[in-house]
Amino acid sequence: MKVFYIIPIFVLLGVLFHLASAKVYVPNGEYAGYFDHDGIYVMYGSVRNTENQTVIAKVQVTVNDEGTTFSESRILPVIYSLKDMPFKFKFPQIISGEPVLQKPKVSFILTNSNPLNIEVNYDRTLVKYPDGHLTGFITNTGNYTVNNIDVYALVHNKNNQYLDEVENTWTIPKINPGDKAEFVMYPDQSIAKQVAYYSCFIPGADNAIEMSTQWKGKTFYFSVLSIVYFTNQKFDENNNSMYFDASNPWQIPYYANFMFPSGSSDGEFKVFIDGNQVTPLISKDNDTQNWHVAFNVNYGQHKVVISGFDPNYVPNTDEYFFLDEKSALIAWAGFSTFTISDSKLLDILGIHGNFIPPWVKNTVSYMIYNNVPADDVVNEIKYLKHDGIVK
């Protein structure tokens, strides 16, 4: 399951996001763009944290193309002290021309989140192959199980120039203390032959909790990433707002990151805590297009209101609203921490039915390990439906 924000649980020390100083920034020469194998313009780079604390950062990128300006922003996974965090944005609107990049803007907040006890094994098992892809292992060196791990990295050519940002092909469901797990990375096909080496390996984990409430007589699903307890959620259709009881048992502020389906709002969210408006950090996931609304919750008991939902939106009652075709295939085939049924996968793929032959999971496995496009697997399932094998 590819959900854009792979953010470990952490403690918020500051209250406001700061404009990036010289200590948290995108270095000059470490961001660039190219047209990928699908002909879509891709912009990539990395944010560097030279603070003596962990930070969470929001990066905004802007591209000018033939007089039209495109801008996207994203909250990145936490960046540990003296580390970099790669990022990538796709602009499907740009398929030709000579796009001009503006320098990315970065804002951040200090946290005291401890690094994950997940380490990349820098040994003979870390192998780059002639076609540019890489395989390796990570080890859980800590004392607790870590779930939903992704690994990020940057790739370079022989002249040490950045070529792309990549991440492991599928999310690793979990690693128990002392265990190893393999990861696989593939660069985009358009630059694969130029790849000389990988750098900046950064593991991250997603501890989001799924929640739901009733809206227009249907179930509205969303997720929250926080160790603050949010309960008694209720949607008020009169003012298009969601209400929560929030409990922060820790004696310092903690951070909450809510994730809502893309169609549920136009992004004009407002957040109120105990009747006082606070300034949230809002962005949209580049892959799933889900909205992210992030803010700070102080110690104690609070009433939280999030407003700005679209009054015309109708929940689709789909628990897996965040799944695209590829992540749905991965979950269905058993390569995630949860599974979905045959009928659910077919529903996501837009195919009527409730049975898929189990051997199709072998094709999904081939997709994962050999970087086969998800579209090829989807087309195979559609072909099997046409022949009556998928029912």
CATH number at residue 193: 2.60.40
- Give yes or no: residues 104 and 123 share one domain: no
For residue 240, tell me if it sits in a domain: yes
- Give yes or no: residues 200 and 213 share one domain: no
The total of other beta-carbon atoms located within 10 Å of residue 196's CB is 14
- Give yes or no: residues 199 and 217 share one domain: no
- Give yes or no: residues 149 and 90 share one domain: no
CATH number at residue 237: 2.60.40.1180
The alpha carbon torsion through 117, 78, 109, 260 (nearest 10 deg) reads -130
For residue 317, tell me if it sits in a domain: no
Higher-pLDDT residue of 3, 219: 219
Give whichever of 107-116, 189-198, 235-244 has the largest mean pLDDT. Answer: 235-244
CATH number at residue 89: 2.60.40.10
For residue 5, tell me if it sits in a domain: no
List all residues 6 or more positions away from 38 whose beta carbon is below 8 Å from its beta carbon: none
For residue 7, tell me if it sits in a domain: no
Q: How many domains does the chain have?
A: 4
Give the ranges where the chain is alpha helix by DSSP (H): 325-332, 342-348, 360-370, 374-386
Buried b (16+ CB within 10 A) or exposed e, 83-117: bbbbbbbbbeebeeeebeeeebbbbbbbbebeebe
For residue 347, pLDDT over 90 is answered with no
The crossing angle, in degrees rounded to 10, of helices 360-370 and 325-332 is 120
Q: Mean pLDDT over residues 69-95, rounded?
A: 87
Q: What is the pLDDT of residues 61-81, one digit of tens each?
A: 999 998 899 998 888 877 888
* Phi then psi dihedrals of residue 378, to 5 deg: -60, -45
Banded model confidence at residue 322, pLDDT cuts 50, 70, 90: low
Can you say whether the dihedral through the CA atoms of 109, 113, 118, 124 is positive or negative?
positive
- The whole-chain average pLDDT of the chain stands at 84
Task: Specify the DSSP element, H or E, that contains 73.
Answer: strand 68-75
For residue 4, tell me if it sits in a domain: no
* Cα–Cα distance for residue pair 309/306, rounded to 1 Å: 8
Final residue of a structural domain among 111, 141, 171 = 111
- Give yes or no: residues 59 and 133 share one domain: no
Final residue of a structural domain among 111, 135, 153 = 111
Task: Specify the DSSP element, H or E, that contains 136.
Answer: strand 134-140
* Cα–Cα distance for residue pair 273/257, rounded to 1 Å: 15
**Cβ pair 290, 259 in contact under 8 A:** yes
- pTM for the whole thing? 0.65
* Cα–Cα distance for residue pair 108/87, rounded to 1 Å: 15
For residue 330, tell me if it sits in a domain: yes
Q: What is the extent of the structural domain holding 31?
A: 18-111
